[in-house]
Structure 1
């Protein structure tokens, strides 16, 4: 997972370096970027995972994220193939668990991850973290005049502030898998006390036109220090963006 992000970053840095060298050694006419949008939406969807999980943290199913940002794009005057972009938005991470109850409301000093194989449990159970985020990207476009027909590369970072954490369990079943209250039965519990209030991540993207493959790695812990295992979030997904 880390190798995927490092590969994206390495490719981006190499292309940026080559582009800078080429543009500085040539005398091309100045490009007209008057028709290029300066701001836009960036939408991301894909998979999430927690790295370095112990056996007690039994994730399962398709854990996923959905992020939406409003971005401002500022091309470099001396090299319009490069730009800096920054923005603000909301990011959400949905981690699904298999026969495991995560008691976010617990009064204990450590976050409990309880095995419920032999007890009543929810057939679907997830932990949701919602962040207010500020992303920043250094971008490269092969065709800066028309980003919709351009290869694009980006490396960046984002900082997030935890807004809400909650668990959602659906369809309580017994140890034989038979529903107890019906498949529409749901329970939500909310508390962000065990989770790190600040999220710090490095990001990378590679794509063409409005589509790109993105990856991100949260290098500070998902949980606060000493309340549970030191785990980091890795994300891999699809970005839709005008720039």
Structure 2
């Protein structure tokens, strides 16, 4: 079992749109470890859920062209707000190659990939009009996949994720926005 707390972000944001330092996420995974004989290497696979929440000044705008095609664009929010979050919950399947120095009291390093399906995405706003939450951002990419990295000692480690998929579907709005996360994790036993 793995529990991670992360700082989340998006790379290649449109001009004027920024992530806040309060962007955070959480991941929970169950892994099955398969050692390569008596070596220090193993292969692991599993399943879990990730929560990826981006706080910042992004405004979600739907643009409809003359043919009726809709695109989703992120723009700088100009109206005052107290909190502005775009979030996603993703069911994921991670695969890893692991190295550990010893079976007990060990230094560990893992490199892997994970892919998943977004089961929920939303936008949450706190402003002068109160609290509002909107589900199902149009053209949000339902698939997320990317590279993972973990390094640590014993049950505590640093973790990272870099997505190879974009936030918005291809040719459906703001392009080139890439999710990432860095954080700390624990394996309780």
Unaligned 5+ residue runs, structure 2?
65-69
TM norm structure 2: 0.89
Unaligned 5+ residue runs, structure 1?
1-40, 174-180
1:242 CA displacement: 4.7
Match of 2:55 in 1: 96
Detail structure 1 runs of 4+ shifted over 6 Å in the superposition: none
Of 201, 204, 214, which residue of structure 1 is paired with 2:149? 204
More helix by share: 1
DSSP 3-state at the match of 1:57? coil
Pair member with larger Rg: 1
Q: Is the 8 A contact 1:164 1:192 kept in 2?
A: no
Aligned pair 1:67/2:67, yes or no?
no
DSSP 3-state at the match of 1:128? strand
Question: RMSD of the alignment, in Å?
Answer: 1.8
Q: Within 5 Å, which residues of 2 pair with 1:1-243?
A: 41-79=1-39, 81-98=40-57, 100-103=58-61, 106=62, 108=64, 109-117=70-78, 119=79, 121-144=80-103, 146=104, 149-170=105-126, 172-173=127-128, 185-226=130-171, 227-242=173-188
Count of aligned pairs: 183
DSSP 3-state at the match of 2:81? strand
Q: Is the 8 A contact 1:151 1:208 kept in 2?
A: yes
TM norm structure 1: 0.70
Residues 137-180 of structure 1: CA deviation (Å, up to 9, x unaligned):
11111112x1xx1100110000010101101112x23xxxxxxx
